[in-house]
Structure 1
Amino acid sequence: MDLRQLKYFLTIAEEGQITSAARKLQMAQPPLSQQLKQLEEELGVQLVQRGPRSIRLTDAGVMLRDRARQILELADRTARELGEHVKGMTGTLSIGTVSSSGSALFQDRLSEFHRAYEGVKFDIHEGNTFKILDLLNRGIVEIGIIRTPFHASSLECRYAESEPMIAVMTRELAFAESRSSIEFGELKDRPLIIYRRFEQLITDACLENGFEPDIFCMNDDARTTLTWAGSGLGIGIVPRSAFGLVSRDNLLYKVINSDSLRTRIAAVRMKGRFSSALADHFFERFGE
């Protein structure tokens, strides 16, 4: 028994004639009669008593007529509500992002969300992690896109997959080009260009490997790290997915083999705070 059969039966019950029901359904009478017969056989009950000019519902037919009305009304209402729900996903979603999230990884999630909710527009605020968390706290943005590590005690978090950090450099400063990765200890005595957000993470990793970092430049933006590295002034350290933020033909990178030097993009929002349906849907779709 499916919705189509229930619709056929309810039309017959309401019209009181198979001929009239077939006309209303814009179908031939024999197929409609066959559908009624199949429904009775499937349910194992007689639903109508057939007369020369009309039909009369049996007790089972009356019961199914009432149920069919409820089922079809519920199905119709559900379809309308789902359609209205999707159409209702309009408006502007405010998101705060750090520069290193402007990668293919984040763009893929934005594109996926846009395909699902084409009426949604975006208001993007950029800054470092501290600024994004401040914007969240003040309610200026509903969702923050930041990178680990960060203090998560007051936040709900949805994480993307983990990725390694990379050493970015010009060919003049490069390690052997045939290698796609380097060991962390090979960064010893190399001038490093780092994003301030990762200062503690990188310093700790250096100390674990028995040396202090030679930090040539500290800055507040992954794009600045890449730009300075592209000028041949030192070796930049950024997340792998941030490499494409600046177009530099003379740059190449090596993955740094270090379990402690990995990072993840995360979508975050404040715990216990009301959020819009847009923010709820984006947040739920972000994680792994």
Structure 2
Amino acid sequence: MNLKQLRYFLAVAEEGQMTAAAKRLHVAQPPLSYQIKQLELELGVPLFKRLPQGVVVTSAGKLLVGYAQQLTQLSATAENKIRALAHGITGTLNLGTVSSSAGVMPNQALLKWLHAHGDVQLELTEGNTYELLDDLHKRLLDVAIMRTPFNRQHLICRFFPAERMVAVLPQRFHQFENRRQLRLSDLDGLPLIKYRRFNELFHVAFLEQPFDPQFVMTCDDARTAMHWADHQIGVALVPRSLAATYDSGQVLIRSIADRRFETQLVLATTPESYATPLVAGFMDQFPQAQPVD
């Protein structure tokens, strides 16, 4: 099994036809079919079910798709980084971002750096903190913007200012119009929408309260929590920067007084990636690194 076969395999899997895949790859169909057949013989399983109108990926083929995508992406990244090393700060920067980073990135430091390095391209990947952390360690990402808490061992980190969590309230909760912040006790009886990222934080904080919180929804994206609060479904508990970014004007945004309801965005990379001029130049636009061994 080689990278050429994997690239051919992915093209066929994505196109659903040998003819279309051959056209996309700029190769004749017989060599393409031969490489796919050799890959199936080597693995000992059929990867496609042949049909009159095209091909369908088998269960074994579906399993291979994920691995093939990772291997081909890693190969392309390695090639890009090695070539870019000889030219200094140039090439493609693979940047991972969590949805709740929209309030702080992009910022002026990033825009200034990109303007000064016109040969740099950004390849963005969105995901949750744990997905991005895994991709960092697999070298599929150069840098990632993640949200605490997470394991920072063997990473070089730049920390954005800590921020409070807020309650995003539908306007029907007019009793809070003249309040600047809410206590946890004020959330008693309210329909709450939580961002799954903070499950543990909420669990610990509410253990000390004399009531059980009423969670009506849990979601994987803070923007989704905001969207549902905007549609009057419940009270979203999200970071302040994200609430300010996506404020529709149809909700009340109030700080939560409990200091445990704080969070922080972190720009992180691995020591191996930081050794390249591209990543080091990018990271150096932000506050002093705090590597953790």
What is the TM-score with the length of structure 1 in the denominator?
0.64
Aligned position for 1:214: 214
CA distance in structure 2 between the aligned counterparts of 1:111 and 1:157, rounded to whole angstroms: 20
Structure 1 vs Structure 2 CA RMSD: 2.2
CA distance in structure 2 between the aligned counterparts of 1:147 and 1:174, rounded to whole angstroms: 31
Instruction: Indicate yes or no: 2:122 matched with 1:122.
Output: yes
Deviations 1:85-138 (A, max 9, x none): 9x9422221110100011245534422432443432211100111111121122
Deviations 1:240-272 (A, max 9, x none): 010145352312200111211101110112245
CA distance in structure 2 between the aligned counterparts of 1:252 and 1:177, rounded to whole angstroms: 7
Aligned position for 1:243: 243
Aligned position for 1:30: none
Letter in 2 for 1:230: D
1:102-181 equivalent positions in 2, closer than 5 A: 102-104=102-104, 106-181=106-181
Q: Which runs of 5+ in 1 are unaligned?
A: 1-84
Deviation at 1:212, TM superposition (A): 2.9
Aligned position for 1:282: 282
CA distance in structure 2 between the aligned counterparts of 1:237 and 1:160, rounded to whole angstroms: 20
CA distance in structure 1 between the aligned counterparts of 2:287 and 2:264, rounded to whole angstroms: 11
Instruction: Indicate yes or no: 2:90 matched with 1:90.
Output: yes
CA distance in structure 1 between the aligned counterparts of 2:235 and 2:151, rounded to whole angstroms: 28
Aligned position for 2:253: 253
Deviation at 1:278, TM superposition (A): 1.7
Deviations 1:214-235 (A, max 9, x none): 2111110011100111111110
Deviations 1:58-94 (A, max 9, x none): xxxxxxxxxxxxxxxxxxxxxxxxxxx9x94222211
Change (3 A) 1:225 1:164: same
Aligned position for 1:183: 183
CA distance in structure 2 between the aligned counterparts of 1:126 and 1:275, rounded to whole angstroms: 24
Q: Which runs of 5+ in 2 are unaligned?
A: 1-84, 289-293
CA distance in structure 1 between the aligned counterparts of 2:236 and 2:158, rounded to whole angstroms: 28
CA contact (8 A) 2:88 2:277 kept: no
Letter in 2 for 1:249: G
Deviation at 1:171, TM superposition (A): 0.6
CA distance in structure 2 between the aligned counterparts of 1:185 and 1:109, rounded to whole angstroms: 40
- In terms of mean alpha carbon deviation, does 246-255 or 270-279 score higher? 270-279
The 3-state SS of whatever aligns with 1:286 is coil
CA contact (8 A) 2:99 2:222 kept: yes
Identical amino acids, percent of aligned pairs:
33
* Higher Rg: 1
Letter in 1 for 2:254: K
Letter in 2 for 1:90: T
Aligned position for 2:200: 200
Letter in 1 for 2:281: H
What is the TM-score with the length of structure 2 in the denominator?
0.63
Aligned position for 1:262: 262
Change (3 A) 1:274 1:264: closer
Change (3 A) 1:262 1:158: same
CA distance in structure 1 between the aligned counterparts of 2:106 and 2:252, rounded to whole angstroms: 22
Change (3 A) 1:235 1:137: same
CA distance in structure 2 between the aligned counterparts of 1:238 and 1:281, rounded to whole angstroms: 32
Aligned position for 1:71: none
Letter in 2 for 1:144: A
